[in-house]
Structure 1
Amino acid sequence: MQLVVDKIAKAFGIHEIFKDVSFMIEKGEHVGLVGVNGSGKTTLLRCLLQPDWVDGGSIKFEPGISVGYVQQGFAEIHGTIWQFMLEACPEITELRQKLAQLEADSAGLQGEALEACLEEYGRVTKRYEFIDGYNFENRIKRVLIGLGYTEEWWQQQAPTLSGGQKTRLMLAAALVRNPDFMILDEPTNHLDIVMTQWLEKYLQEFKGGLLVVSHDRAFLDNVAARILEMEGGRLQSFKGNYSRYLQQKAIQTATLEAAYNAQQDCIARTEAYIRRFKAGIKSKMARGRQSQLDRMERMDAPVRHEEFELRLPPAAECAERVLIMEDLTIGYGEKVLAKGINLTLRRGEKTALLGANGTGKTTLLRTILGEIAPLKGRAKIGNRVQVGYFSQSYERLDPRQTLLENFVIEYGFTEEHTRSMLGGMLFHGDDVFKRIGELSGGQKARLVLLKLVLDGANCLVLDEPTNHLDIMARETVEAALAAFDGTVLLVSHDRYFVNEVADRIWEIDDGQVKDYKGNYEFYLEEKQRLAQAKDEAAAELAKAQEAAQRAGKATAVVQAAVKTADAKPKRFSTEEAAKLLPKVELQIREQEAMMGLLEKQMADPANHADPEHSAAMAAEHTAYENKIAELMEKWEALMEAAEE
């Protein structure tokens, strides 16, 4: 076992986070940790990294193993991206310095001292090879490129990166360390779909143990072989990936609820019996029932998570064409991100806008909304279309205001009505007096979603609406959007979310916006079909080019033969005729023999399956005929000269 956790507990004051948490992770086992926001997942990870922080129980890693973790702070980031990555594995740097020092020392040593030095050099070299030090730079390049840092980024100063870019860099540093055990907390945040798929493949190939916290259901399906669920301060283990966990959890929940309800019914009937007969002739039986009740092991009530309410109002009538783009080019200044966009979003359609980070997804949204001027063409919003915009940066939330102030000022509601609405989004009691700047990303997202409901928009433009939301909250948003009868245009890197909500995909790729009329699964199938067709077309083109090249050579021979045939026959002397006749006759026999072999090939139907190959053989046969005809003319001329 690489990790053994035995009955650990953690509380903050009187607030118990979890207790009696126990689990084990074997070498090479990949485990996903799930639970609603606030259930204690990140606290558990901190306990694993700082075992002395727990209130009770024990945490034991296998002795001598290295543990990798994506840190949450950025204080250690310095230098260029490449320099930072080179320093990501200090042991490799130390071993390289040690090897260089031992090599220098060995030059001035003899006898036993030299042997000891060489022995130490061998031990250091063995460790250096074990941690794959010779391929360290190649590993850095692979990880950086996979996470979107192409070569032109490598000399950029790391401190100048955005928060999301720094998060990706910290993830890259954790991966190149190649630890024996890896702990990852929301590693897909700030990754686009292509990067997420690359990370999935990397982790599938990772041979060490893995514990990952994630709200990305597709990611957990592709990476985890076991799911740990933190719920109500307890931890449960489920075999299989996330989809398998859902099936098991549904069965378990139904079973536990049925058992709990049955026990509660039994308790209620028994207590009623005791109250009725405790003073009568059946008092002895009532006391017996009471003893039985006292001995009963009471089941805990099933955990019921509080869910926020998101019910989008019916969409008001509007034009059939909701968003219109005509010959649209988007970008900034001279930088063009996408051009030639001619698309129309119609009433009731739900479309997902996909593409790698930096391809222009947010720019396209802001251009459609009129926040950025198009470089060319136009983007138009249809008649009677009211747009509700969910931005990643939460511009509609003033960080200096309290929740109560923000909604009362913007909508003019009473305090009582505002409290009621905020309660539906899980903000209770004194929560409404918190400043918005102090809220988590998930709490801010819930506030913006509430404003979309209050706005009554019939077209929703959503830029990463599920960032920072846990899985249960994402499912709530999915259900609300699926039931919404208006129009939706959304940007998301959550593949499961996109597949559940969208019935159309727009993908920004290579400066173009491609249109796929189907959900995410259809989009993947269509992409695969197009890629396969492209590969087949390339193979056919190469085959045709090869056949054309063969046919071209044969044609050249034909043309040369025709040119020679058109030339005036040369007159030979008797001496030349006597000398050349045997050679020409030999050439004729050789050409006839080669033509005979070709005719046997032409007689085989299998050689005519490919039209290009068949044409090439025909051209080659014509060339032989012309060559033989040319040689026969020469032979006749030589015969005339020899007879003179």
Structure 2
Amino acid sequence: MAQINVSNLTFCYEGSYDNIFENVSFRIDTGWRLGFIGRNGKGKTTFLKLLMGKLEYEGSIKSPTVFEYFPFDTGDISRNTLDVIEGIHPDYELWMLCRELDLLDVDAEVLYRPFETLSNGERTKVLLALLFSRENEFLLIDEPTNHLDGEAREKIMEYLKKKKGFLLVSHDRHFLNGCVDHILALNKTNIEIQQGNFDTWQQNKKLQDEFEMAENRKLQKDIARLTEAAARTAGWSDKIEKTKFGGDGLGPKPDRGFIGHKSAKMMKRAKAVEGRISGAAEEKKKLLKNIEEEEEIKLFPLVYHKEVLIEAKDLSLSYDGKTVCSHVNFALRRGERIALAGKNGCGKSTLLKKIMGEDIETGGELRVGSGLIISYVPQDVSGLKGRLEDFAEQNGIDGTLFRALLRKLDFSRVQFEKRMEDYSQGQKKKVMLARSLCQQAHLYIWDEPLNYIDIFSRIQLENLILKYHPAMIFVEHDKAFVEKTASDVIYLQN
């Protein structure tokens, strides 16, 4: 197996004073199933572009293989799927494509349907099948699970587990654990590679962080003790030096040579202690640089005056004259968190919209508490535009609190100066989450809140929910997040 060698890689965008990568060096084996993790905006997609030669950089990237990037630009999606595929790779082999579709449990008949009629899961699987039907390439797979339901994620995870030779960007911990054998971590100050899956990396990082924090505390104590000793020794030296000029003229004169020698000896000892202090301080500087400070986010949910906020009895929902789900029964009480699960198209988002008050045809019964104040995070955030200050004012939220929450979600201050249309999808999602967290509400409704959100921010949100127990109903396909936060899971079906 060949290797990709990255040496002294340095890169920054034009007009920026901060390097995204600075003298970075590491090696990747082309046979690995490599998971790529890191905070939003830290350079994961940028690194993929550097590998593909789309950006100029200093240093070198030497590779014996060709890179292929996913997702593809599909162009006009009203065309048949085969035409879309031919537009991407005219030299594709149909038999190899069908072989990969079979491994993904996709019927080859989808190739003869308009691409726009395929579900999100079908589109992703078709394009992954095209990706893996080509040979002698190292595959760069950028967040393939966004907008996929749990069943589709499991199928793609099992598919990737049987492949090799790819770098996978994902924020889904369960997904990473199921299909990678190495982790490439974009830390605060460096890039590191470890063998194993995400849980292995996280455990190793926890041990490293605990070791560094213990060393930091030890060095702090050493510096304080040595500083006190240096001051005490220097004080003694000064006192001894002054005795050279002591005496009242009546008794014997002080032995200035002896006193000077003793003073110099004490001063030398003080200098040695200062050297040890300096050494300890330098060692201390090397520690804690990559510790992710998961700052606590606060939430103050309102307490509803009744125990039950929402109740559904034999509920069915219809959209454009078609029944999307039926026989739905649940009750959401104060402090409970219900996760809606099921295949894409089974009515999860439709149910959330109905609770929000949209005019959607229903059967059965849905009771929503009167006077219920709801905070909503939509699935689609692509339309966000304008400046953050105007957005906060339009939504009636405190601008200072809003910005503080974004900072805790790892927004850099320079992002506050940009317009929201220039944000990444992950940054836009964080804007909507911060808005929701600024709002005092009886009920929080979140529709796929974690799409594009980095792992560390997901953990912050988990801790927030577990601490404040807000009443919530949400749709999310991150299995680890659902298992940690949901008090109940409701499965919808057609």
* 2:342 alignment partner AA: G
Output one character per residue of 1:422-445: Cα deviation in whole Å (capped at 9) or x when no partner: 555555656444333232322332
| In 2, Cα distance between equivalents of 1:246 and 1:329 | 43
1:222 aligns to 2:189 (yes or no): no
Give the match for residue 112 of structure 2. Answer: 154
| In 1, Cα distance between equivalents of 2:231 and 2:439 | 56
| In 1, Cα distance between equivalents of 2:328 and 2:120 | 31
Q: How much does 1:416 deviate?
A: 5.5
The answer to whether the 8 Å contact 2:426/2:452 transfers is: yes
Q: How much does 1:80 deviate?
A: 2.0
Output one character per residue of 1:387-436: Cα deviation in whole Å (capped at 9) or x when no partner: 222211249xx7343211222243275x6566556555555656444333
Please, which of 283, 286, 289 is the counterpart of residue 300 of structure 1? Answer: 286
Output one character per residue of 1:201-257: Cα deviation in whole Å (capped at 9) or x when no partner: 111111x32221211000111111122211123112222211121111111111122
Q: 1:137 to 1:473 in 2, by over 3 A?
A: closer
Q: How much does 1:316 deviate?
A: 0.8
> Secondary structure of the residue that 1:15 maps to in structure 2?
coil
Output one character per residue of 1:342-390: Cα deviation in whole Å (capped at 9) or x when no partner: 3333333221111122222111221232213224333220245332222
| In 1, Cα distance between equivalents of 2:98 and 2:412 | 52
Give the structure with higher Rg (CA): 1
- Specify every segment of 5 or more residues in structure 1 that has no aligned partner in the other structure, as ranges: 93-132, 512-644
| In 2, Cα distance between equivalents of 1:89 and 1:391 | 35
1:204 aligns to 2:161 (yes or no): yes
Give the match for residue 195 of structure 2. Answer: 239
Give the match for residue 252 of structure 2. Answer: none
The answer to whether the 8 Å contact 1:193/1:493 transfers is: yes
Aligned pairs, number? 460
1:487 aligns to 2:445 (yes or no): no
Please, which of 449, 467, 471 is the counterpart of residue 465 of structure 1? Answer: 449
Output one character per residue of 1:28-62: Cα deviation in whole Å (capped at 9) or x when no partner: 32121211122222222222222983311x32223
| In 2, Cα distance between equivalents of 1:437 and 1:161 | 28
Give the match for residue 138 of structure 1. Answer: 98
> Secondary structure of the residue that 1:447 maps to in structure 2?
helix
Give the match for residue 391 of structure 2. Answer: 406
| In 1, Cα distance between equivalents of 2:54 and 2:400 | 46
Give the match for residue 8 of structure 2. Answer: 8
Q: How much does 1:338 deviate?
A: 1.5
Give the match for residue 612 of structure 1. Answer: none
The answer to whether the 8 Å contact 1:144/1:150 transfers is: no
Give the match for residue 380 of structure 1. Answer: 367
The answer to whether the 8 Å contact 1:314/1:486 transfers is: yes
The answer to whether the 8 Å contact 1:319/1:384 transfers is: no
| In 1, Cα distance between equivalents of 2:160 and 2:39 | 24
| In 2, Cα distance between equivalents of 1:491 and 1:437 | 25
> Secondary structure of the residue that 1:261 maps to in structure 2?
helix
Q: 1:315 to 1:221 in 2, by over 3 A?
A: same
Please, which of 353, 357, 360 is the counterpart of residue 370 of structure 1? Answer: 357
* 1:37 alignment partner AA: N
Output one character per residue of 1:167-208: Cα deviation in whole Å (capped at 9) or x when no partner: 6654443233255422212121222211111111111111x3
Give the match for residue 188 of structure 1. Answer: 145
Output one character per residue of 1:101-160: Cα deviation in whole Å (capped at 9) or x when no partner: xxxxxxxxxxxxxxxxxxxxxxxxxxxxxxxx57324225437754xx8735733156x8
The answer to whether the 8 Å contact 1:17/1:233 transfers is: no
Q: How much does 1:283 deviate?
A: 1.5
CA RMSD across the alignment: 3.3
Worse-superposed segment, 460-469 or 285-294? 285-294
1:31 aligns to 2:16 (yes or no): no
Give the match for residue 48 of structure 1. Answer: 51
1:255 aligns to 2:215 (yes or no): no
* TM-score, with structure 2 as normaliser: 0.81
The answer to whether the 8 Å contact 2:37/2:184 transfers is: yes
- Specify every segment of 5 or more residues in structure 2 that has no aligned partner in the other structure, as ranges: 239-262
More helix by share: 1
- Percent identity, aligned pairs only? 28
Give the match for residue 24 of structure 2. Answer: 21
Give the match for residue 376 of structure 2. Answer: 389
* TM-score, with structure 1 as normaliser: 0.64
Worse-superposed segment, 215-224 or 438-447? 438-447
> Secondary structure of the residue that 2:132 maps to in structure 1?
helix
